[in-house]
Amino acid sequence: MKRVKEFLDVNWDQKSPLLLGYSGGPDSKSLLYSLLDAGCSSLHIAHVDHGWRDESAREEELIRKEIEGLGLPYFTTRLSSVAKEVVARDARLHFFRSLFKKTMYQALILAHQADDLAETILKRIFEGTHLPFIGGMTPISQFEEIEIWRPLLKIPKSKLVPYLESKQLKPFFDPTNQNPIYLRSRMRMETIPILNKSFGKNICENVCVLAERAAELKEYLDKRVAGARVENGTLFLRGLERIEQRHLLQKVARDEKIFLTRVVIEQLLDWVDDAKFRKIFIQGKWIFSGKGKIIIEGKSLTQN
C-alpha cells in the first residue's frame, strides 16, 4: 500500500531491523505484506499466542510455516489462557522488550488502523476524558526504550480487505473480537454501526480528525505551561489562563497517578484565587487550593 511505503521512506533508516507484532489477522497480515511490497528487507516477526482459544496453537503452527516460507526471523511466546486483557497486554510488552534487548531494532511495528483509533477516541469521549487527552494512539510513539510505529493508523479497515483479496491472502479471524463481553467488541459490533446508520455516513474519519486536533491542543497547552513553577508538590498558577491552569493540574495529577474528576478539578480551580486555602481529600492525599496555588499533600504549605 502506498501509505506504508511513504511511512517507511520517511522513518526507516534502510538498514536497522524492524520488529513486527503479527497475529495473522486481517490488519497484521495486510501490514506484513505491504511492508514486504514496500521493500522492507530487514523484518523480524513476533507472534503472541494468547492461549484463549483451542485453535490458537494450530494457528501458531501455520503462522510459523508462513514466516519460514518468507525467510524471515520468527519469535513466538504462549501466554496463560487465564490471562485477562490488561495482563495479556503487559505480557506482550514484556515479550517485545525481551526481543529488543537481544537485537537493536529501530522500532516495533503494530497494525492498529483507523477503526481502532476511532474506537479508542469514542471510548475516551464517553468516559469523560478531558479534551487534550483524548488523542489516543499516534503513528509514532515511545514506550520506555521502544519506539512504536503504526503505519496503518490513518487507513480504515475497509481498505485493507480489498488489499488482502487482491493478493489472495486469507487471514485468521479471532472470534473474541466479536464477543460482546468485551467493551471494544460491543463498540465495534453495536455502537459504531448504530452511529454510522444514524448519521448516514462512516463517522470514523471525523473521529480520527478530532483525535488529531486534540493532540494539537495538547501540544499547544504543553508549551504554554512549560515555564510554570511546580515545586515540592506546589503548582503556582497566577498568571495562567484557566484552561492553562486546568491543563497543568491534569498533567501533574496524571504524573502523580491521582484521578481527579471534572467536578473536583473545577472546584480546585474555583478556589485558586481565594485569600485562604481550602482542601479536598483524594486517594489518601490532601489537595489544597488558594492564594494562587494548588498544593498536593500540603507540601510546603507552612513555607508559603
Residue 216 within any structural domain of the chain: no
For 20, residues 6+ apart whose C-beta sits below 8 A from its C-beta are 28, 31, 32, 35, 43, 44, 45, 46, 108, 109
> Which range is least confidently modeled, 48-52, 59-63, 194-198, 290-294?
48-52
Residue 220 within any structural domain of the chain: no
Instruction: Tell whether 147 and 236 lie within a shared domain.
Output: no
pLDDT at 86: 64
> What is d(CA 293, CA 304) in angstroms, rounded to the nearest whole number?
10
Average pLDDT over residues 134-160: 91
Residue 262 within any structural domain of the chain: yes
> Which range is least confidently modeled, 50-64, 116-130, 235-249?
50-64
Domain count, the chain: 2
Binning pLDDT at 50, 70 and 90, where does residue 243 land?
A: very high
Counted residue by residue, the chain has a size of: 304
Instruction: Tell whether 172 and 235 lie within a shared domain.
Output: no
Mean pLDDT score of the chain? 89
Residue 189 within any structural domain of the chain: no
Secondary structure (H, E, C), the chain: CHHHHHHHHHHCCCCCCEEEECCCCHHHHHHHHHHHHCCCCCEEEEEEECCCCCCHHHHHHHHHHHHHHHCCCEEEEECCCCCCHHHHHHHHHHHHHHHHHHCCCCEEECCCCHHHHHHHHHHHHHHCCCHHHCCCCCCEEEECCEEEECCCCCCCHHHHHHHHHHCCCCCCCCHHHHCCCCHHHHHHHHHHHHHHHHHCCCCHHHHHHHHHHHHHHHHHHHHHHCCCCEECCEEECCCCCHHHHHHHHHHHHHHCCCCCCHHHHHHHHHHCCCCCCEEEEECCEEEEEECCEEEECCCCCCCC
pLDDT > 70? residue 299 = no
Instruction: Tell whether 47 and 161 lie within a shared domain.
Output: yes
pLDDT > 50? residue 304 = no
> What is d(CA 195, CA 201) in angstroms, rounded to the nearest whole number?
8
> What is d(CA 283, CA 280) in angstroms, rounded to the nearest whole number?
10
Instruction: Tell whether 240 and 172 lie within a shared domain.
Output: no
Residue 46 within any structural domain of the chain: yes
Residue 197 within any structural domain of the chain: no
Which range of residues forms the domain containing residue 257?
227-296
> What is d(CA 112, CA 120) in angstroms, rounded to the nearest whole number?
11
| CATH code of the domain in which 35 resides | 3.40.50.620
pLDDT > 90? residue 112 = yes
CA distances in angstroms from 174 to 85, 190, 299, listed in the order given? 14, 17, 51
Instruction: Tell whether 172 and 237 lie within a shared domain.
Output: no
Express each pLDDT in 224-234 by its tens digit: 999 999 998 89
Instruction: Tell whether 21 and 140 lie within a shared domain.
Output: yes
Choose from 59-73, 122-136, 167-181, 252-266 the range with maximum mean pLDDT.
59-73
pLDDT at 91: 83
Instruction: Tell whether 162 and 282 lie within a shared domain.
Output: no
pLDDT > 80? residue 261 = yes
Binning pLDDT at 50, 70 and 90, where does residue 177 land?
A: low
Instruction: Tell whether 281 and 165 lie within a shared domain.
Output: no
User: Is the distance from CB of 48 to CB of 76 less than 8 angstroms?
Assistant: yes
Instruction: Tell whether 15 and 164 lie within a shared domain.
Output: yes
Instruction: Tell whether 150 and 247 lie within a shared domain.
Output: no
Q: Residue type at 273? A: D
Instruction: Tell whether 273 and 168 lie within a shared domain.
Output: no
Average pLDDT over residues 175-190: 77
Residue 193 within any structural domain of the chain: no
Residue 199 CB burial class (10 angstroms; 0-12, 13-18, ≥19): exposed
Binning pLDDT at 50, 70 and 90, where does residue 300 land?
A: very low
pLDDT at 277: 95
Other beta carbons less than 10 A from residue 122's beta carbon:
20
Instruction: Tell whether 81 and 167 lie within a shared domain.
Output: yes
Residue 67 within any structural domain of the chain: yes
Binning pLDDT at 50, 70 and 90, where does residue 245 land?
A: very high
| Percent of the chain surpassing pLDDT 90 | 64
Express each pLDDT in 36-92 by its tens digit: 999 998 999 999 987 666 777 889 999 999 999 999 999 999 886 555 666 777 888
